[in-house]
Structure formats: structure tokens, C-alpha cells
């Protein structure tokens, strides 16, 4: 009888405590995996953040290098243009001093054409004239060489043209600035004195 029982016991599924212990370990393992997975995700997020920052730094560096290169080119061009501008001024003065007659020589037309071509080449490099005549005096664009009677604070004459290279002032315009009219100034001073007398 005991032999039959032992044979039946063999047929029944075995339930041993070590297997239960293994089952408990199997339940604990996913927690360990979850913790490890969370740590790895955190590391991956840090790596991604570092990569994105490095990429942004590289883009900024690239922009800065391009900007410095452009500034260096503009600086080199500006030096050359500054040396050419006195020649442009001399041509303008020569044409202005040429006597007005009924006819003018053909070489004069040729010289004016050369002047226009020269200015076109300079304009292609980003040179533009600073408008001054009739404008309000602006110390960042204009250099006052004299003050004369005229509309106060306005440019009434241009002594030498000024130019910008792209957005930067290359050479300020030399101008004559109006200081107002003598009569207007005396009237305003007289009225100011009358006002003081009334207040006193």
C-alpha cells in the first residue's frame, strides 16, 4: 500500500518550497529591471540633452565664424574704398570747376562715364551715399564743419559727401549746419526778457 501511495505521489505535480523561493525571486527581478531601465532612460535623456547642447553650440560657433569672416572681408574692402574715395572727391571737384560753355569737349563725357563706372563698382561692394542736404543734423552720420544762418539744426550745405558701407558709416558727411536766423534769435531773446520782467 505504501508503495502504491509513493507511486501516486510521483504522478502528482511536485510543490517544493525552493520553487516558491524561485518564484519570489522572479517577482523581484522585474523591479530590479525597472530600476535599471529607469536609470538607463535617465542616462539616455542626459546624453540626448548633451548632444542637443553640443549641436546648438556648434551651430552658434559656425554662425560666429561666418559673421567674423564677413566682418573681416568688409574691413578689407572698407580700407580699399577709403583710399579710393579721395579720388572720387577729386573727380567731382574737377567737374564742378570746369567752366560752363556752350559746348564741352568729348573727353569730358568720357571722364564722367569713368566716374559713373567707378561709383557703380563701389556700390556693388555695398557703398551708399549718406543723404544730408535738408536733413536734420545727426552726429552719427554728419560732421559739422561750419554753422551759418539758416534753418536751425538742419543741414544747409554739404562740404564733402559721406558714405556707408552696408549698414556702417564709412565716412561721415561734412556739412554746414543752420544756426537759425539772427532776427528770430533776437526776437526770441527779447520775448524771453519780457517774460522775465512780467514774472519779476
Q: Which residue segments constitute the domains of the chain, with CATH numbers given?
A: 72-96+107-199 (2.30.22.10)
Mean pLDDT value of segment 109-131: 88
pLDDT > 80? residue 27: no
The predicted structure's pLDDT at residue 185: 40
Please state whether the predicted TM-score (pTM) of the whole model is above 0.85: no
The predicted structure's pLDDT at residue 4: 55
Q: Are 142 and 172 in contact (CB under 8 A)?
A: yes
Q: pLDDT-derived band of residue 18, with 50, 70 and 90 as boundaries?
A: very low
The predicted structure's pLDDT at residue 10: 56
Q: pLDDT-derived band of residue 135, with 50, 70 and 90 as boundaries?
A: confident
Give the distance, in angstroms, between the CA of residue 125 and the centroid of all CA atoms in the same chain. 18
pLDDT > 80? residue 22: no
- Distance between CA atoms of residues 146 and 165, nearest Å: 26
- Could you tell me which residue, 33 or 30, shows the higher pLDDT? 33
Per residue in 69-107, is it b (16+ CB within 10 Å) or e — as a string?
A: eeeeebeebbeebeeebeebeebeeeeeeeeeeeeeeee
DSSP 138: -
The predicted structure's pLDDT at residue 133: 87
pLDDT > 70? residue 157: yes
User: What are residue 169's phi and psi, to 5 degrees?
Assistant: -75, 120
- Could you tell me which residue, 55 or 18, shows the higher pLDDT? 55
Range of weakest confidence among 8-12, 38-42, 46-50, 99-103: 8-12
Mean pLDDT value of segment 146-169: 86
Amino acid at each position: 500500500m505504501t508503495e502504491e501511495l509513493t507511486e501516486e505521489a510521483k504522478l502528482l505535480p511536485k510543490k517544493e518550497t525552493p520553487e516558491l523561493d524561485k518564484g519570489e525571486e522572479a517577482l523581484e527581478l522585474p523591479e530590479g529591471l525597472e530600476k535599471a531601465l529607469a536609470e538607463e532612460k535617465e542616462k539616455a535623456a542626459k546624453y540626448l540633452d548633451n548632444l542637443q547642447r553640443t549641436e546648438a553650440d556648434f551651430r552658434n560657433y559656425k554662425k560666429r565664424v561666418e559673421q567674423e569672416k564677413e566682418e573681416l572681408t568688409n574691413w578689407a574692402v572698407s580700407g580699399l574704398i577709403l583710399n579710393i574715395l579721395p579720388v572720387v572727391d577729386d573727380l567731382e571737384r574737377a567737374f564742378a570747376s570746369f567752366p560752363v560753355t556752350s559746348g564741352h569737349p568729348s573727353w569730358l563725357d568720357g571722364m564722367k562715364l569713368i566716374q559713373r563706372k567707378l561709383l557703380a563698382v563701389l556700390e556693388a561692394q555695398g557703398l551708399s551715399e549718406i543723404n544730408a542736404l535738408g536733413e536734420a543734423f545727426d552726429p552719427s552720420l554728419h560732421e559739422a564743419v561750419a554753422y551759418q544762418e539758416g534753418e536751425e539744426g538742419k543741414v544747409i550745405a554739404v562740404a564733402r559727401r559721406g558714405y556707408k558701407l552696408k549698414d556702417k558709416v564709412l565716412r561721415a558727411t561734412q556739412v554746414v549746419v543752420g544756426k537759425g536766423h539772427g532776427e528770430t534769435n533776437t526776437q526770441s531773446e527779447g520775448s524771453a526778457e519780457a517774460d522775465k520782467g512780467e514774472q519779476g
